[in-house]
Structure 1
Amino acid sequence: MSTHIGAQSGAIAPVVLMPGDPLRARWIAETFLDDARCYTEVRGMYGFTGTWRGRPVSVQGSGMGQPSLAIYAHELFSEYDVQRVIRVGSCGAMTERVAVRDIVIASGACTDSSMNRIRFEGLDYAPVADFGLLRAAYDAAQGAAGDAAVHVGLIYSSDSFYPARPELSARLVDHGVLAVEMEASALYTIAAGFGRQALVVCTVSDHLVTGEQTSALEREQTFGAMVEIALTAGLDG
């Protein structure tokens, strides 16, 4: 039983979907999983295990930001022997090449966080997705994305939702970064350290260029395509 999850041994499946919002975790469990049961409510960060197409899968909230996600990812890998974690979250489009409700599959993650600078003592480690999961998610997206465009590329994991120097992000866009969120870099790094598989699949919830955005309820309950993509990749990839 880990400190922050508190689930019994064997309660969590080898494949875990990880939204930031614990209410989205509950919505995913109630909408997509059969026989879902809650294994944790510690700190209101819900976790559920059920089955999808007859195979076990768990959904675990992570909270916002890399420090929060790092706690849950570390405990999933170290205490519950989880093999695959797929983050299913929202992101903000940083370029007009990407539209609201498009799906971004993150091949790698840039960041302004100091977490990896501390871990690697100043070296610039490049956190990347597991290629098998990435390929499986891209293939799954061809049938599940509907009218939404699917993009594979770099994402930016920012430590600041309200950055003091937002103009700096233009340099990232010039070098191919598609969207911004707050967790991918930590997930990819921690998974690599444990020799496990990780992937980040995000739905674009708002647009930093056009100002378009979705509502909180839409972000919680209407991003089903990315969930189907993640489930297919996680269980069949």
Structure 2
Amino acid sequence: MTIHIGAEPGDIAETVLMPGDPMRAQWAARTFLDSPRQINAVRGMLGYTGTWRGHPVTIHGSGMGMPSLSIYANELLRDFGVRTLMRIGSCGGMQPHVGLRDVILAMTASSISTPSSSLMRELRFAPCADWGLLRAAAQAAETRGITPHIGGIYSSDTFYDERPDLNDQMTRHGTLAVEMETAELYTLASRYGARALSVLTVSDHLLTGDAVSSADRETGFSAMVEIALAAAFPD
């Protein structure tokens, strides 16, 4: 048990999927895991552990933004022995060829700053995904008839962004999408010698202003969770 996670030893699996929304963690656990049981509800951040094809899996919310994710990822990695962390979340498309409901596998994650920036000081650390997870996720997606976009994304500190000039530069430099958590997730995985990957669904688009409906989000998120689970436990 830690300050923010009320689980007991053995309650959390070595593989954890992390959506931002705790209610989405509940939905994913009940939809994809066998015999899920709630292992955390501290501060309303829900976590569940069950099995997928016989493999123990925990699905735990991270909250929005890198500071929130950093709290839970640190405790999961440091105190509960988690070895694989996979973010499953939404993102905003930043390229013309990236469409709504598309799946993005984040190879790298740029950021202005993260909670780890003070540790790195003058160094601009380049956080990246685990290659084995990235390759397995690409194969899992293609097996399901999905061609994922693979490349760099941008982890922003703000949701209501007022820097169109920065967004323009991100687009100019090929950034696929923007979200708010991955750069810190990848940094922490590197620090603890663990594996990490963000599997994302495009829910809205910065260039067009389009956004998917609630029903479409559910369908897209289903594919994303399936890809993440298959990547964590390839046949």
If the TM-score is normalised by the length of the shorter chain, which range does it land in? over 0.9
Alpha carbons 1:45, 1:61 under 8 Å: kept: yes
Please give the root-mean-square deviation of Cα atoms over the aligned residues, in Å: 1.4
What displacement does 1:218 show? 4.8
Percent of pairs with identical residues: 53
- Per-residue CA shift, 1:164-200, capped at 9, x if unaligned? 2122111111111100000000000001000000000
- Corresponding residue for residue 55 of structure 2: 55
1:166, 1:45 → 2: CA distance? 33
- Per-residue CA shift, 1:145-176, capped at 9, x if unaligned? x4x54100001000011112122111111111
1:30, 1:230 → 2: CA distance? 16
Query: SS of the residue aligned with 1:169?
Result: helix
1:208, 1:183 → 2: CA distance? 18
1:45 aligns with 2:45: yes
What displacement does 1:210 show? 1.1
- Corresponding residue for residue 212 of structure 2: 214
Alpha carbons 1:116, 1:125 under 8 Å: kept: no
Q: Which letter maps to 1:14? A: E
Alpha carbons 1:23, 1:220 under 8 Å: kept: no
Alpha carbons 2:101, 2:217 under 8 Å: kept: no
What displacement does 1:97 show? 1.3
1:179 aligns with 2:182: no
- Corresponding residue for residue 35 of structure 1: 35
1:231 aligns with 2:226: no
Question: Would you say how many aligned residue pairs link Structure 1 and Structure 2?
Answer: 235
2:71, 2:219 → 1: CA distance? 25
1:132 aligns with 2:132: yes
- Per-residue CA shift, 1:199-221, capped at 9, x if unaligned? 00000000111111124565467
Mark the runs of 5 or more structure 1 residues left unpaired by the alignment: none
- Per-residue CA shift, 1:60-86, capped at 9, x if unaligned? 000000000000000000110000000
Moved more, 119-128 or 107-116: 107-116
Query: SS of the residue aligned with 1:210?
Result: coil
1:63, 1:126 → 2: CA distance? 23
Query: SS of the residue aligned with 2:176?
Result: strand
Q: 1:217 to 1:161 in 2, by over 3 A?
A: farther
Q: Which letter maps to 2:209? A: G
Q: 2:167 aligns with which of 150, 166, 169?
A: 169
Greater than 4 Å deviation, 4+ residue runs: none
- Per-residue CA shift, 1:100-132, capped at 9, x if unaligned? 000000000001225343121111100000101
Alpha carbons 2:2, 2:79 under 8 Å: kept: yes
Q: Which letter maps to 2:61? A: G
Q: 1:119 to 1:216 in 2, by over 3 A?
A: farther
1:20 aligns with 2:17: no
Alpha carbons 2:67, 2:114 under 8 Å: kept: no
